[in-house]
Structure 1
Amino acid sequence: MNRPLRVLLTALVFASPALGATDVSMMGGAIRFPVPDQWVPIMQSEGETETQVFQVPGSSAADATLARVSITAQKVPNLNGFQQFAGNLRSHATGLTEYTPGKAAAPTENVYTAKEGAVTLAYFERYFYSNGYAIQLRCVRPANDARFGASFDKGCAELAARIPS
């Protein structure tokens, strides 16, 4: 094998684990998952309850401003604590302006639309219980952009598959 090809292959081997994803750590490293490099971190909190929020670039400037993904985690003593965590967050959702429930595919999901300012947003929430932690994944995007919605929803589903459960 010639030297330039060997150098290129070696570089790809070392670069490939990090290609296209940023590793996120929460709750002192107990919860870890990758997010796409294109997602821009816009907020992070630490403490008893931790939250990471990412802005997701969209098909227009308005989408980029509104589309976001958040992950919230809290240490809970047991499954009842998890149910209380999820119940509190679901209850909060029903108080949003023009809240309209959608059809969830599983009991650990919450799907709905609500208004933020003048824009109707589609919300997808999924709840996880992992090693004593209650976790909420919340994906929010403009409801009326089908092309962007399809790629956004795919990214959200990929993240849900990587969150420990």
Structure 2
Amino acid sequence: MHRTLLRALPFVLATALAGPALATDVAMGDGAVHFTVPDGWTLIMQSSGDDESQVFQVPGSSNADATLARVSVTMKKANNLIAFQQFSGDMRNRATSLKEYAAGKPKAPTENVYTAKEGTVKLDYYERYFFTNGYAVQLRCVRPTGDAKFAAAFDKGCAAVAASMPN
């Protein structure tokens, strides 16, 4: 009996110390930028270098939503505010070249809101820009339009990521 308890002890301790997992901590820029994403979001792409990115697929209410709904974080070294403004300006200009781009109404100057098409699917885009720890950071949330229940859950997750970004 004592041997069984001793063998199980490491597993029990590890499980107890882990606690409930509600969000996943993500580090980028050699640990300079940390943020969290909701559990259940799957990392589907990651790049490193001068421009570093991570893209997460967000589970949806339908197969179409699940394959199209995604959140990306892209960052680039920015030594000053001018470099940050150049980065955000370049990213905003890229958005205008998307098929059927239509600007929305952002709530803040660090946001970009618009719709565009990917193939035949109309998508809602929300971008937010951060200047932190020597990096320009873009948070980009993309989801299909039209499913209010899914949109509410998706937007809540996107807002949680934005709230976890260092300012």
Question: Same fold by TM-score, threshold 0.5 exceeded?
Answer: yes
Partner residue, 1:95? 97
Could you tell me how far apart the structure 1 residues matched to 2:150 and 2:93 are? 28
Q: Answer with 1 or 2: which has the greater Rg.
A: 2
RMSD of aligned Cα (Å): 1.7
Q: Aligned-pair distance for 1:37?
A: 1.7
Q: Aligned-pair distance for 1:14?
A: 2.1
Greater Cα offset, 147-156 or 29-38: 29-38
Could you tell me how far apart the structure 2 residues matched to 1:63 and 1:154 are? 16
Could you tell me how far apart the structure 1 residues matched to 2:16 and 2:162 are? 26
The amino acid of 2:125's aligned partner reads Y
After TM superposition, the score normalised by the length of structure 1 is 0.90
Distance 1:138 1:12, change over 3 A: same
Partner residue, 2:157? 155
The amino acid of 2:100's aligned partner reads E
After TM superposition, the score normalised by the length of structure 2 is 0.89
The answer to whether the 8 Å contact 2:72/2:141 transfers is yes
Q: Deviations over 1:93-135 (max 9, x none)?
A: 0000000000100000000000000000000000000021100
Q: Aligned-pair distance for 1:11?
A: 7.5
Aligned positions of 1:86-165 closer than 5 A: 86-165=88-167
Task: Establish whether residue 84 from structure 1 lines up as the match of residue 86 from structure 2.
Answer: yes
Structure 1 residues without counterparts, runs of 5 or longer: 1-6
The amino acid of 1:20's aligned partner reads L
Q: Percent identity?
A: 63
Task: Establish whether residue 53 from structure 1 lines up as the match of residue 17 from structure 2.
Answer: no
1:24 counterpart (15, 26, 31): 26
What is the number of residues matched between the two proteins? 157
Q: Aligned-pair distance for 1:36?
A: 1.3
Secondary structure at 2:107 match in 1: coil
